[in-house]
Structure formats: C-alpha cells, structure tokens
Chains A and B, each alone.
Chain A
Amino acid sequence: MTKRVTRRELLTMLAATGTSATVLNASAALGMIPDTRLGIPEIPRADPINRPSIVILGAGISGLTAAYELDKAGYDCVVLEAAPKAGGRCLTVRHGDLIDEVGNPQICDFDDEPHMYFNAGPARIPSSHRNLMHYCKALGVELEIFINENKECYYQDDAMFKGKPIKNRVFTTNARGFMAEIMAKNFNNDELERPFDRYEAEALISAMRAFGDLDADELYKGSFRAGYAKGGFIDHGEQTEVVALHELLKSRFMNSALTANEGETGPVLFQPVGGMDKIVQGFARELRNKIYYDVVVTSVQLQDNGVAIEYQHNGIKYLVEADYCFNCIPTHLMTGIDNNFPADYQEAMHHVRRGEAYKSAFQTKTRFWEKDDIYGGITWTNQPIRQIWYPPHGLFKEKGVILAAYDFGGGMHFTRLSQEERLETAIRQGEKVHSDYRQQVEKGITIAWHRMNHMLGCAARWSSSFGGMSAREERLYHTLQAPAGGRHYTIGDQVSLHTAWQESAILSAHWAIGDMVKRMGGTSSMPGRRV
C-alpha cells in the first residue's frame, strides 16, 4: 500500500524542490508568448524599367506573404506550386475537395453548406499574432471568435473515475479547491508567515480562499463553480458532488487543466468565417495570375548573380532564371531536388525532421453537443485521439463538423492505420466521451500530414531533445536562415523557432525580405541607374 503523505510533509517536499515561494514567481513565467511585433520590412520601390526578378517556390503562407509584399513593391514575382491549389498546410476541407494523401486519396463528401468545413491544418489565430491579423485585415478576411477552452467540455481519462468523462468545470473547480485548501491551511503556520507581514498574509489567504472557493475555515467543501446539480434560478441550487482529490490525481490532466488558456491560447483566438483558407484565397486574389500550379521543381542552382530553377509542367521542361529565390518547399523534400547549395546548408536541410501531426473530422447527424450545453471548445482525453473540438460556428444548424482526433505529438498511431481503422478507432474512442457518438457521426475524413502529397510532414522539428536546441542545431538553424549564395532564402515556419504557426511562416518571409533589401543596399527607388 502506498504511504500517505501528510499536508505538512507535502509542504516540506515542495520547499525541498525550491517551490513554495517560487511557485508564485514561476506562474508569471508560465504564459510565455513570443514577441510578434509587426515585422513587415520597408521595401524600396523596384525600378520599373529593370525590375529585380524573384521566383518563389511553394504557395504556402510564407511564399504567399513574400510574393504579396514583393509584388506590391514592384518586383517581378512568380510563384511555382506543386499542388493544384495554393495554401500548403493551410488547408480547409469542404464538400468535393480532394485530400491528397499518398496511398489514401479521399474526396470529402460533407454536405455542401458554408459551415460544413474542416480546418485540417492551422485552425486558430491568437490576437497576439499581429502580422497574421494584419493580413486578415488587409485581405478582407472576415474573422470570428474561436473558442478554445470551454468549461462545459469534458476531461476523460481511463485512469480516473473508471474512464467516465467529467465536465471541465468539475475537474478544474475541484482541483483548485483542493490545492487552495492545502496552501491556505498551511500558510497560517508561523514558519510560513515569516516572509510576509500580517496584511500581506491576510491578502494572500483571501486570494487563496477566492481561488479555491474555500469556506471561512479555509476548507474546500465543493463549489457552485463546478455547476449546479439542479436548480439555482427559481429554486435553490444544489451543488454538484465534491469529487475525490485522489481520483483527480490519477490523471495527467492535473498538469494541464488549470493552464488551458495560457501561452499561445491565452489571447483571444479567432478563425476566418468560412474556413482558414480564406486567407490563402485573399493572397491568391491579390496575386492573380502570378501563381503557377502543378509544377514539379527538378533543380535549384545558385549562380553568380542569381538562381536558376528547372521545373516540369505537363511533361515539358522549363528553365527560369531569377535574381533571387524564396523557397518554402519543406527541407525534407528539398533534399530530393538537385541543387548546388553549400555543404553546411545541405547539412541543415538533412537535419530537420518532419512532424507527424494527424487530424480527423466527422460530419454529424445532429449538433448533439449543443444539447449538452457545449458551444465550441475542446474536450481532452488520454486516448490517442487526444481531443474533440466542437465548432464555434454554425450554431443551431442541423449538422456540424467536429474534430474527432488531433494527435499533435510525435506518434504515428493513426497514420499507420487504414482509413477504415482510423475512423473506427476515432468512433470507439469518442464513445467514451459521448455515449451516442457512433449513432451521431456519419461521414469521416482523415489527414495524416506525414503522408500528404507535396508535403510529407507537418511542422518541422529542429531539436532532437526536449532540452531545446543543441549548439550544433543552433548553428544549423542560422545557416539555413541565411541566404545560400546570398540569393536563395529558405522560408516558412520551418525556419522559425516557433514552428506550426502561420505567424512564424509570415515572420520568416519578412525576415528574408528584410535581409534581401539590406543586401541590395544601393537599390534606388528611381527608374534606371545612376550615371
């Protein structure tokens, strides 16, 4: 039998790890959000008589950003894209769309309605991502609120309550109550009072009481914050039952449930009305006929004063020479394309590993979650599906599209399965949260980013350890960021320290443009050259 630890012993344990006071400091550091000041570089207007030429490889968010900015400044831009459509991983799937997974092509048969879409790649825009927000505004992309945490959603963990799901409000209220009680009770001890004066100590205890909804004796006896078992409006409310702390401690969600809206998901989150690819469509509209599709790039060669690119289209070979190249082809695919990049640049391209993220979605017969007071938000489970997302849009409509699985970790669990197995597994695991799940879902799609044609991977991974980048990785990162031969820029979220976000892709393009402008130095904004 496990030895019981008293509260006193627990406090000693915390102190031994340097916690009790530092916990308070540490919490401030929790929501670390990278700085994303508006990064659009000032680009001198190009000489209209002798326009510098730019070939952009890949119509992902970074390629589109580079093309949009440089085209606006008068540069001669073309975008070469391998797929028949733009966007890269910024992919929204709707009725009739092809999901181009190598070996498992699917055509989406969701109902043909504006709200019946699925953002298979990025799906959230934090308000702090100012550059992406800027482009949404500039391109006329209408935004609506995205709901990330919703107290009405569930936590389901096979390890607690025998696998029965509990509402987020029940989990978090109880977890906070127990934690506050432990803190407050012990804080009365002289030993703990020492660093604080009496008023500070009272203020802190009062805050803890409020944090955990404790009674006057600093005891947690349940809280209406966890919801009403019944009543509360016309009749007296009845509290939901207090759940046992020991039960909550069985779940790893104790580590994350209280920080659900920290960091990147702390700011207000948005989604474009009608799908994330409205951003792509906005860029493509501005770039009109400058994007060429179905292009297979076969060679990228640095030259003395530019870059030569060979490609094929409709079985015909072409050569295009340009002053500069901005390349957002994933590095793990660029290693399969002939090039004469320097050895250290090659080393960097070979080092980056490809991400394995997986998502799937179901069209549902009814919006069954709305009957459970759920309108948007995320349910968490310890099963491989990890999450269920409920759409914050299309409220009260007959049907909806829910995210049925999102494996954002390193696992290839779903990717290894057949399409039928993937969908069946998602149903079986979803049933643990919603008992009528199987009856509710009707059409499913899956997106295994590791296998998507022209991409073969999700967000790039630079660091081979959880401890962060090694000195070698840091060196390789800066090597890949700098232009090969002063002319070829690798761009995309793959050349950022915060991969998987569109903001990173944009900032990477901005960085490359800024560097190019600096290198061009004497570029005059007047036509012709100085004589």
Chain B
Amino acid sequence: MIKSIVRILLAMAVLHSGLAVAQQYNQVVQGSQSLANKVCVTCHGANGKGNPVVGAPRLAEIEPWYLRKQLQAFRGEFRGTQKDYIPGFEMQDSVARMSDEEIEAVVAYIGTWHSNENPPSIAGNATRGSELYLACAACHGVNGEGNEALAAPGLARKDDWYLYRQLKLFQSGYRGSHPEDLSGRTMRTGIANIENDQDINDVLTYINGL
C-alpha cells in the first residue's frame, strides 16, 4: 500500500520535479499518523515521557512557548550543530526541514500529551543547592516555575538527567554560544557560580524538591 503511494508520488515528482523528497515523505507518513507520533515518539517516548537511554528529554507538559523556541533554535542552527554531541545533532537534523506550520502543529499536538514524572536520578546536597539556586531564581523563579518574559523555562518537575546535560552543554559552550541566541548567552553568564559536578548535583537535588 505504502509502496503504491510512493509510486504515485514518484510519478507526480516526474511531473513536478520540484517536489522534494521531504515533502513526499511527509505526505506518506502523515497518511495515518500525526507527524509528532510518527517522528517524535521514537526518541522522546510514548506521550513524550522522555527516554534517557537515547538522550531524549520528556516533552509532556513542557511549556509550548519554550518548545516552539527550541524547535526554531534547532532549525535555525542555534543548537545541535556540534557533531560530537549526538542527541543534539540528531535533533537538529530531525527538525531542519520543518515548516512554521509543522512546528505549530507539533507544539499543539505535544500540548495534549501527559505523562508521569520520572523518578530522580541524582543525589546531592539540597541545602548547598538552595544557595546555588539563588542565582537561578532571578530568571527561573523561586519555585522553578519559569518566566516566559525572560525566556526562562520552568525547571520544577523536569528530568534531572536532562537538566544535568543542559548545564554541561551551557558550561562547554555547546549551548548559548550562537551570537543571536540571546537567552542562551544570558544563561551561560548566569551559571558562572556553578563550577563543577558537585555544584550541578547539589543544585539539581534542590530543584528536584521544588
């Protein structure tokens, strides 16, 4: 069945040679499933529950504005251009061909996903973490609730393994180095007080309790 669809599409492609493979692909896969279910869930898990084994964060209950911004950041090559960080460049490739309409459709669809929080995986010193968190609270809120106006996502109820990776990426400059990535650059300067793995584990242990 799928083969016959592809054949028809290929026949169309001969007539309209401008029809890109990506477009043909989207027409084929969207025949039965939404783009999000067809493409996102393989990595990000059923209902966007996240999958640390393949390095894909939980998407369920993520703020729509933040999700949109990150999809645009990957598409615009603010994120995921370093080929030695595999989850990032896989994501970059996956969204590189998405249109604005597709991004909106995906954001809307993911907005319908719910999944349970995953159990914490990091154990540090929460008291020490609370002191380190003071610098974070300015943008991300005292309860880790986030602040769209400052482009700061919520941190509470996010997977700690994912936050750990992102802190490492900001520290190394894999995130927040693009000249036009203003909020990313702010984040890089904002985490100057988080210097080592102990600091990261402590602050994440505190965030886990928010």
Interface, chain A (partner B; CB < 8 A): 82, 84-85, 96-98, 100, 102-107, 109, 294, 296-299, 312-315, 331-333, 335-338, 349-350, 354, 412, 416, 451, 453-454, 456
Contacts and interface: CB of A to CB of B under 8 A. Distances in A.
A105 B46 contact: no
A246 to B, nearest CB: 37
B127 to A, nearest CB: 29
B25 A107 contact: yes
B32 A294 contact: yes
B38 A98 contact: no
B25 to A, nearest CB: 4
Given A103-B94, A297-B46, 13 more contacts: A96-B10, A97-B6, A100-B29, A103-B93, A294-B32, A312-B37, A314-B33, A335-B52, A336-B43, A336-B45, A336-B53, A350-B53, A416-B89
Interface SS of chain A:
loop
Nearest to B116: A338
Contacts of A296: 33, 37, 41, 46
Interface residues of B, number: 45
Nearest to A101: B93
A335 B53 contact: yes
A332 B51 contact: yes
Contacts of A107: 6, 9-10, 21, 24-25
Contact of B52 (A294, A333, A350, A456): A350
A316 to B, nearest CB: 11
B79 interface: no
B93 A96 contact: no
A366 B53 CA distance: 44
29 contacts: A97-B3, A98-B28, A102-B94, A103-B94, A105-B22, A106-B21, A107-B6, A107-B9, A107-B24, A294-B32, A296-B33, A296-B37, A314-B32, A314-B33, A333-B51, A335-B45, A335-B53, A335-B54, A336-B41, A336-B43, A336-B44, A336-B45, A336-B49, A336-B54, A337-B46, A338-B116, A350-B53, A354-B53, A453-B39
Given A106-B21, A333-B54, A98 B42 contact: no
Given A96-B7, A335-B52, A105 B21 contact: yes
A498 B50 CA distance: 29
Contacts of B2: 84-85, 98
Contacts of A338: 46-47, 49, 115-116
A102 B37 contact: no
A454 B42 contact: yes
A472 to B, nearest CB: 17
Nearest to A416: B83
Nearest to B21: A107
A72 B148 CA distance: 59
B93 A102 contact: yes
Contacts of A335: 45, 51-54
Given A98-B25, A106-B21, A333 B90 contact: no
B34 interface: yes
A57 to B, nearest CB: 12
B51 A336 contact: yes
Contacts of B7: 96
B86 interface: yes
A299 B56 CA distance: 18
A354 to B, nearest CB: 7
Interface string B68-100: 000000000000000100100110111111000
Nearest to B41: A296
Contacts of B43: 102, 336, 456
Nearest to B89: A416
A456 B54 contact: yes
Nearest to A453: B42
Q: Which of A314, A335, A336, A453 has the most CB of B within 10 A?
A: A336
Interface string B153-182: 000000000000000000000000000000
A283 B44 CA distance: 31
Given A107-B25, A451-B90, A453-B42, A336 B56 contact: yes
A416 B22 CA distance: 19
A298 B7 CA distance: 32
Contacts of B45: 335-337
Nearest to A312: B37
B91 to A, nearest CB: 8
A333 B54 CA distance: 8
B38 A453 contact: yes
